[in-house]
Amino acid sequence: EPIGGERQAVAIARAMHFDSDLIILDEPTNNLGVAETQGVLSFVRSARDSGHSCIFIAHNIHHVFQVVDRIVVMRRGKVVADDIDPKNTNVAEVERIITGMSDKEIHDAIVQGKQPQG
């Protein structure tokens, strides 16, 4: 029985094998070690590069930047930014959009030990 990243990789490979038009990945790297995470991200890139459409739902913005060609940000169930090109922006800018806060507000919240709310 596959465990951890193997399970996600098998699911992605299965979707690719059956030539699924759309692959939806909801937090596929959650609770994985570094090696397993990189394996899953590699499979996602392979699926994308093979022409499969992928919806990659994740809280880890660094993983998002590694595999997507378009970012959509939702906050409290509403789309607040659409069609962000990760090649033309950076993590800090997307974090500002996600939280709806300025850099100073994000910094102050972190210094005070609070999770930035957005």
Q: Which residues pair with 25 in a beta bridge?
A: 56
Whose CA is closest to 95, among 64, 51, 52?
A: 64
pLDDT tens by residue, 31-80: 888 888 898 899 889 888 988 889 999 999 999 999 999 999 988 888 98
Q: Which two tokens stand for residue 18?
A: 């059956």
Percent of residues, the chain, with pLDDT higher than 90: 25
We find that the CATH architecture of domain 1-68 is 3-Layer(aba) Sandwich (3.40)
- Predicted confidence at residue 63, as pLDDT, reads 95
Please tell me the predicted confidence (pLDDT) of residue 18.
77
Is a pLDDT exceeding 70 seen at residue 28?
A: yes
Q: What is the pTM of this model?
A: 0.72
Structure tokens at 36: 């397993």
Structural domain boundaries of the chain?
A: 1-68, 70-118
